[in-house]
Amino acid sequence: MRGAFITFAAVVRKELLQATRDRRMVFMLLVAPLIQIIVFGFAANLSFEHADTVLVDQDKTAESRAFRDELAAEGTFRVSEVESVAEAQAEVVAGRAQLAVVLPHGFGRRLNAGEHVQIQALMDGSDPARGVQAGYAIEAYAATRAPPTMPAVGVPHLILVPRLLYNPGLKGRIFMVPGTAASILIVITTIVTAMGLTRERETGTLEQLLVTPIEPMVLMVGKIVPYAIFGLIDATFILVVGNILFDVPMRGPLLLAFTGVGLYLVTTLGTGLVISTLARTQQQALMAGFFFLLPAILLSGFMTPVDAMPAWIRPLTYVNPMRWFLEIWRTVLLRGGRFADVLPQLGALSVIAAAVMAIATVRFRRSLG
């Protein structure tokens, strides 16, 4: 019994020494979880606050301006004003607003007469949870608040007329499928690419290729193109299955949706290459891949809206390719957005793709010696 314990202790000691000898492994085992819990704890905010809201004031009276000012001061809504309902709906289509509020002609006159006033609220149903939260928040505000200019004899009834855009049935799958697609593509491209190249380095296959007259750039591109093809096939499968089984709409141009896929794959494949040059073993590559995957999902807006995250965390989302890909797919597929609606997202994704591939190229050349 004592001999078995001594053997057991020796094995444990050997594994501990082996794990702690490698600084990369120590980082993955101890530092990475600490970073993740701090970021996740702050980023995972499901409360409804600071929602981007556009307001159409068709009345242009002191009462309507007072309503706008108090709505903005309330803290739940981040209010900007547009001139027409069409402009307001365009802001929702582009994803720049989650809610549009329309104050009708005669708003002030009816309030002063003590009449009921109907307020139209256009909510983005492509995110069902967020859409419902927006509806509850504006309805609660309309039912309990009144601007200072309103008559003191009781609060007039402000009646909310809600309208859910793009997803009237509030189907959660419509919202989840684009996020699931982004997660699947990261696994297929980033993690599998990193592990595949690391495996070749472990088995010596990569060294055998180096003695051939293949140029490093040709070798690098040849290594990642198959995974890019698989990624495009998977994206097509996801679109078809999502449309047939889960009624996910395809309201915008598919070419634009696949442009987003292409740029996204460049970033994920480039990240896989970078990981493969840093990792010495497949185990390290796998752990590094998941270290990249988890923050990418949480900081993308897939589960938690970006505007609900603390101000100091939001800049981290700017360099997250998954955020921009999700915004492109949701805008194009769910809301029927066009090129102008996703131009900022395409631009951001292009810059990230160029930067990641530049780093990957330099790292890959150095790893080849």
Overall average pLDDT of the 341-350 stretch: 95
Distance of alpha carbon 87 from alpha carbon 68, whole angstroms:
17
Mean model confidence pLDDT for the chain? 81
Whether 77 and 51 have beta carbons less than 8 Å apart is answered as yes
What are the tokens at 338?
A: 């066009």
Neighbours of 312 (CB within 10 A): 8
Q: What is the DSSP letter of 334?
A: I
Give yes or no for a contact between 274 and 198, defined as CB atoms under 8 angstroms apart. Answer: no
Which two tokens mark 339?
Answer: 């090129």
pLDDT recorded at residue 154: 45
**Diameter of the chain by CA atoms?**
93
Do 43 and 89 touch, CB atoms closer than 8 A?
no
What's residue 172's pLDDT?
74
Model-level pTM? 0.77
Which pLDDT does position 257 carry in this prediction? Answer: 95
Q: In terms of Cα–Cα distance, which of 295, 275, 326, 346 is closest to 41?
A: 295
HSE-up of residue 95 (Cα within 13 Å, Cβ side): 28
For 229-263, b where at least 16 C-beta lie within 10 A, e where not — what string? Answer: eebeebbeebbeebeeeeebeeebeeebbebbbeb
- Please give the Cα distance from 279 to 291 (Å, whole number): 13
Q: Which segment, 40-44, 188-192, 295-299, 315-319, is predicted with the most confidence on average?
A: 315-319
Gap between the Cα atoms of 164 and 326, Å rounded: 20
pLDDT at 194 over 80: yes
Question: What is the rounded average pLDDT of the residues 227-236?
Answer: 90
> pLDDT tens-digit profile of 85-103?
889 888 888 888 888 889 8
- Strand spans (E) along the chain: 51-57, 77-82, 99-103, 117-124, 158-165
Taken in order of first residue, the domains within the chain and their CATH numbers are: 51-165 (3.40.1710.10), 171-367 (no CATH)
pLDDT at residue 344, rounded to an integer: 94
Could you read off the pLDDT of 147-179 as tens digits, one per residue?
444 444 444 467 777 777 887 776 777 888 888
**Which segment, 34-43, 123-132, 295-304, is predicted with the most confidence on average?**
295-304
Confidence band of 263 (pLDDT split at 50, 70, 90): very high
Q: For residue 167, what are its two tokens?
A: 């997803």
Exposure on the CB side of residue 142, measured as CA atoms within 13 A: 23
Confidence of residue 106 (pLDDT cuts 50, 70, 90): confident
Q: Which has more confidence, 27 or 359?
A: 359
Residue % of the chain over a pLDDT of 90: 20
SS3 of 151-177: the string is CCCCCCCEEEEEEEECCCCCCHHHHHH
Dihedral sign (CA 264, 269, 273, 275): positive
Q: How far is CA 288 from CA 100, 113, 273, in A?
A: 42, 66, 12
Distance CA 16, CA 196 (A): 27
Helix (H, G, I), strand (E, B) or coil at 57: strand
Residue 321 has pLDDT above 70, yes or no: yes
Higher pLDDT, 209 or 62: 62
Q: What is the mean pLDDT of residues 329-350?
A: 93
How many whole angstroms separate alpha carbon 138 and alpha carbon 124?
13
The amino acid that residue 185 corresponds to is L
